Structure 1
Amino acid sequence: MRTILKILPLSLCLLLIESAGMAGVVPTAAEERSMVMFIAYADVPPYYIDDSEGRGNGILMDVLRAVTGPLNCTVTSMRLPDKRGWEMLEHGGVDVYASAREWIGNPDRFLWTDPFMPNDDVLIYRAGSPQIYSGPESLYGKTVACIKGFVYPTLEGHFGPGRIMRIDATSPEAMLELLVRGRADAVLVNHTEIRWIFRTSREHEPHRFRIDAQPVDRALIRFLFPRGRGWEPMVGQFNRRLHAMRKDGSLNAILDRYK
């Protein structure tokens, strides 16, 4: 290398040094990349839907494939326990995940795209209930069913005696059963998930329930990548694709399939 640099003109020397320093870090525009999507066990239908071929479907994979299709990038999914998935995302093994900045400690340790969908937590009541959510205090004296182990930032400081009575269940279906039996006055659910359950499950009749129009909490779902593994240029490409998909309606078309 030293001999070559003595012979070549300065401009070519600089080009050669720059190319050597970049090798293996950032791919060329024409280079095909493969991308592995980390899927946590909490990513339930319609966010992620297992299929017989092991490719995975649902909102997250459909949006990811639509974004990466023109970017010469193939995507696969890998379902992992939450802790292991985050470790692999940071240190190698998987490349991308979908979450909200508000849910992650020290979010700037990752690269984030623009948001591609909202995530709303909403209250459901029995159909004849006059209850309307206007803030945490409007639930004082009421029993609200929640998912066991979940944290609800907007309401967290309002659970307790004399305020909101929290009762835990392991699934939205179990929470709806508590509501039907009168053991809860309301259930707190993910809006996208509950609409999918009402659409696909014959056991739960939507007309028996009422979804509050006012979300209790909202976060914006984005794709995130690890830093230092060559994905920095991909974030800008993702944002341009998401902007184009919003403009031509293809992003909403994907989201509407799961309502």
Structure 2
Amino acid sequence: MRSRSFLIAMLLPLLPLRLAQAAETVQLATYYDYVPWFVPGRPSAGLNARLASRLSEMSGGRYRFVSVYIPRRRLDVLLQEGKLTMVVAWVHPRFFGDPERTRYFWTGPLMDDESLVVSPRAAPLEYDGPDSLRGKRFGAPGGHRFPDLEPLISAGEITRIDVPQIKNALQMIGAHRRLDFTVVDRSTLDALKHERVIDAALLHVASRPRTASYQRSMLVPLDQPALYRFLHSAVALLRSDSSWFAPPPRPPDKQAHKRPAQ
């Protein structure tokens, strides 16, 4: 009996570790490598990481969600080849040609968003459909697709200029350099303002959005029905709990601490 009790005492400290090891690891992917979604080099920062942490807690040890970035081109290849094994967050069925929601599972909405047309304050544009952008230079992150603008881009009526990230396009527009407009979601524009990455005073946001308000959900592969059921239920709860969604405090303004020049 003593030896049995000793063995149990030795095993008890290992139970939490074994339970943690038993959790199924799920990659929670985003193809946005910028705020508010993802912060390169800071795996615990960004909205995608906060969502992964919250979902892991809600699963009660069944799943361990890990926030990852995947380029849109790579994601498209995996989808075309039927090799996607991860969950893709912050997306909408029309981003993936699945308006009937039959190619993939789709959770309920995580948040509402809308797409905006932004131009230089010094040369403002008002958006009135794709034709109103004819003859303009359009800055967009490489790999991102804009089906409504593609016919005009292919015809040479809009000149597309690829940039590394949307912040680069907005900074170029603020400086009135090379670009006439870009397309950015309100959530991203607000986050970049919050982080002081861009100077909003140099930008003009068209009064008419490029798209009506739309909902950002999660895409789940069809061969993961159990995972989908958990996520679908979790999202319904998350919509009523905005605490995980709140952005971190704004970084201090370094300029405010500098002594004025004499």
1:126 maps to a residue whose letter is P
Residue 101 in structure 1 maps to residue 93 in structure 2 = yes
Q: Provide the TM-score with structure 2 as the length reference.
A: 0.65
Q: Does 1:77 align with 2:67?
A: yes
2:162 to 155, 158, 168: 168
1:112-151 aligned within 5 A: 112-151=106-145
Q: TM-score, normalised by structure 1?
A: 0.66
> In 1, Cα distance between the equivalents of 2:121 and 2:227?
46
Q: Which runs of no fewer than 5 residues in structure 2 stay unpaired?
A: 1-21, 251-262
**Structure 1 contact 114–222 (Cα < 8 Å) conserved:** yes
Q: Hey, what's the Cα distance between the residues in 2 that align with 1:162 and 1:233?
A: 46
The aligned residue for residue 237 of structure 1 is 230
Amino acid at match of 1:232: P
- Equivalent of residue 49 in structure 1, options 39, 45, 49: 39
- Per-residue CA deviations over 1:144-198 (Å, capped at 9, x if unaligned) read 3233343211211223678434333333233234322343222223433333222
Once the two structures are TM-superposed, the CA of residue 40 in structure 1 deviates from its matched residue by: 5.2
Aligned residues: 218
**Partner SS for 2:26:** strand
Closer, same or farther in 2 for the Cα pair 1:256/1:181, shift >3 Å?
same
Whichever residue aligns with residue 159 of structure 1, its letter is: I
Give the gaps of 5 or more residues in structure 1: 1-31
In 2, are the aligned partners of 1:36 and 1:96 still within 8 Å (CA)?
yes
1:122 Cα offset (Å): 1.7
* 1:68–1:238 contact (8 Å) kept in structure 2: no
Give aligned-pair identity as a percent. 18
Q: Are residue 189 (structure 1) and residue 184 (structure 2) matched?
A: yes
Tell whether 2:62 aligns with 1:62: no
- Confirm or deny: 8 A CA contact 2:50 2:245 kept in the other structure: no
Distance 2:49 2:94 in 1: 22
Of 217, 224, 247, 1:257 maps to: 247
Relative distance call for 1:90 and 1:62 in structure 2 (3 A) is: farther
Q: CA RMSD of the aligned region, Å?
A: 3.5
Contact 2:117–2:182 at 8 Å: present in 1 too?
Answer: yes
1:91 shift after superposition: 5.0
